[in-house]
Chain A
């Protein structure tokens, strides 16, 4: 089986400081990969390099495209990379405001990606927007409301709908549950887990919340100071941490 995404020795420097370095892994179709680490450990830098928002200084990010098979997205042309960003890739931001157009209605937000890939039938676009609102548990009576009238949890679910409407194969998530209270988090995680299984999505989830990766991720990568210090199956890493930092991380979780 061809990996969906092959990351080979990716590094990003900020001047003399290390953003992230020596990162290599393969992601297979349907697999969910978690990246955990403390603030400043380079996990968001890595995610932005993988998603094409930042240009890495070194390394390859090879994506298995539908048309041409495995292609290095770092060296591919910008139009092609932006096209991937609208079709086969999705990016869920920590703050829904960064990923949504706040002055455009919920339906317009979901429809934007459809229109960006050439959909020009209003009725179809609206029907698919309504369908996706339903799938993320937002009443379709709110299709013409602006996201600014939505609660934080609803905004985050709307952002997910907006990203998944074009049927991407790889989803990047940057702290998708950050800033939400625990009951809303639980619903969101439940929803994401359902969508990932149902659509056979691959996902890379960056978080500092170990509970999120325990629920969603098949595999786990622990980062510290720009380096990957431990990788493995999620349960294995969390239940039997080998590296000193991972042991600290696991033991730092508050028990209720």
Chain B
């Protein structure tokens, strides 16, 4: 550090983004347009989330990045490095110690507190996009709360699959007003969205920011006779034996062997350190 301005973006840009964030917090679930900047990474790699994080970070913050729950995948590592270099902030892998957490496709298992901010990377912010391609029309539908179409998608799911097969990016209604795309988090995480932390959503390519303030109602859409279900693989974690965490399935060999592990690596590590051992935990440690 530091030939860069703090957190890479110039102060005017951060000011512009902060205004969009504040507007988003004032109107929960409403997609606020903002002048998204070109970032030194490709679209789809979290350019929206990075800009929101850059505008949110202060030099005192501790920063954590997860990708599908993991701290050690390419996307997470490169964004963490990016802010270590351009902002010089402290980084951590422990959920409890972080004050700003940028995430791709997961909410951490550990409960977040009022002192934390969760920043989501969003590919397509418009929940109605694949049902109604016209932006003018979807904006009008949001304005007039015409959300019948969202249920048409769920209807199609049930008629084709016998159950609501949408398992990620499951549409929610925020504060009983706006229907919102929660970004591609598994629907297992949807109930966690009524949380104490501030949730910010950034979509760089689509140039939209939206937000859910703390303790705001977030209701997953469903039918009376097909209620919403937060589903996960019906297994304990093979490393830490956790029964309550979201699991990834890992293929082990060609003979059909597989294992289920927590997608939240920090949660799994802390449990193993506390002495919990799963079915394959001994081998992994060895």
What is A's interface to B at a CB cutoff of 8 Å? 78-79, 82, 86, 101, 104-105, 107-108, 111-113, 115-118, 120-123, 125-126, 143-144
Query: Do A79 and B155 contact each other (CB < 8 Å), given the known contacts A112-B149, A120-B224?
Result: no
Chain B residues in 8 Å Cβ range of A107: 155, 159
Chain B residues in 8 Å Cβ range of A108: 152, 155-156, 159
CA distance A82 to B222 in the complex (A): 24
Within 133-167 of B, Cβ neighbours of A (below 8 Å) are at: 144, 146, 148-149, 151-152, 155-156, 158-160
Query: Is B43's beta carbon under 8 Å from chain A?
Result: no
Known: A112-B148, A115-B151. 18 other contacts (CB 8 A): A86-B148, A101-B152, A104-B152, A105-B160, A107-B159, A111-B152, A112-B152, A115-B149, A116-B148, A117-B148, A118-B148, A120-B151, A120-B222, A120-B223, A120-B224, A122-B225, A126-B155, A126-B159
Query: Taking the nearest CB of chain A, how far is it from the CB of B139, in angstroms?
Result: 13
CA distance A116 to B128 in the complex (A): 14
Chain B residues in 8 Å Cβ range of A122: 155, 158, 223-226
Chain A residues in 8 Å Cβ range of B225: 121-123
Scoring B159, B224, B225 by chain A CB atoms within 10 A of each residue's CB, the highest score goes to B159
Query: Taking the nearest CB of chain B, how far is it from the CB of A112, in angstroms?
Result: 5
On whether the beta carbons of B159 and A143 are closer than 8 Å, the reply is yes
Interface SS majority for chain A? helix
Scoring A122, A123, A143, A144 by chain B CB atoms within 10 A of each residue's CB, the highest score goes to A122
Query: Taking the nearest CB of chain B, how far is it from the CB of A91, in angstroms?
Result: 16
**Selected A-B contacts with CB under 8 Å, 7 pairs:** A82-B144, A111-B155, A113-B148, A115-B148, A116-B149, A122-B225, A126-B155
Nearest CB in chain B to that of A123: its residue: B225
Interface residues on B, range: 10 to 19
Chain A residues in 8 Å Cβ range of B146: 82, 116
Query: Taking the nearest CB of chain A, how far is it from the CB of B179, in angstroms?
Result: 13
CA distance A62 to B160 in the complex (A): 43
CA distance A143 to B159 in the complex (A): 9
Chain A residues in 8 Å Cβ range of B222: 120
On whether the beta carbons of B144 and A105 are closer than 8 Å, the reply is no
Query: Taking the nearest CB of chain A, how far is it from the CB of B156, in angstroms?
Result: 5
Closest 5 CB pairs of A and B: A116-B148, A115-B151, A115-B148, A122-B223, A121-B224
Query: Taking the nearest CB of chain A, how far is it from the CB of B147, in angstroms?
Result: 8
Query: Taking the nearest CB of chain A, how far is it from the CB of B137, in angstroms?
Result: 11
Chain B residues in 8 Å Cβ range of A79: 144
Chain B residues in 8 Å Cβ range of A82: 144, 146
CA distance A124 to B151 in the complex (A): 14
On whether the beta carbons of A144 and B223 are closer than 8 Å, the reply is no
CA distance A42 to B146 in the complex (A): 31
On whether the beta carbons of B158 and A144 are closer than 8 Å, the reply is no
CA distance A113 to B159 in the complex (A): 17
User: Chain B 156-191, CB within 8 Å of chain A: the 1/0 string?
Assistant: 101110000000000000000000000000000000
Chain A residues in 8 Å Cβ range of B223: 120-122
Query: Taking the nearest CB of chain A, how far is it from the CB of B177, in angstroms?
Result: 14
CA distance A208 to B144 in the complex (A): 36
CA distance A104 to B149 in the complex (A): 11
Chain A residues in 8 Å Cβ range of B156: 104-105, 108
CA distance A115 to B223 in the complex (A): 10
Chain B residues in 8 Å Cβ range of A126: 155, 159
On whether the beta carbons of B224 and A105 are closer than 8 Å, the reply is no
User: Chain B 173-213, CB within 8 Å of chain A: the 1/0 string?
Assistant: 00000000000000000000000000000000000000000
Chain B residues in 8 Å Cβ range of A116: 146, 148-149
Which of B131, B144, B160, B224 is A144 in contact with, Cβ under 8 Å? B160
Scoring A86, A101, A120, A121 by chain B CB atoms within 10 A of each residue's CB, the highest score goes to A120
Chain B residues in 8 Å Cβ range of A111: 152, 155
Nearest CB in chain B to that of A111: its residue: B155
User: Chain B 111-144, CB within 8 Å of chain A: the 1/0 string?
Assistant: 0000000000000000000010000000000001
Query: Taking the nearest CB of chain B, how far is it from the CB of A52, in angstroms?
Result: 14
On whether the beta carbons of A115 and B159 are closer than 8 Å, the reply is no
Nearest CB in chain B to that of A143: its residue: B159
Query: Taking the nearest CB of chain B, how far is it from the CB of A37, in angstroms?
Result: 31
CA distance A204 to B140 in the complex (A): 28
CA distance A101 to B160 in the complex (A): 16
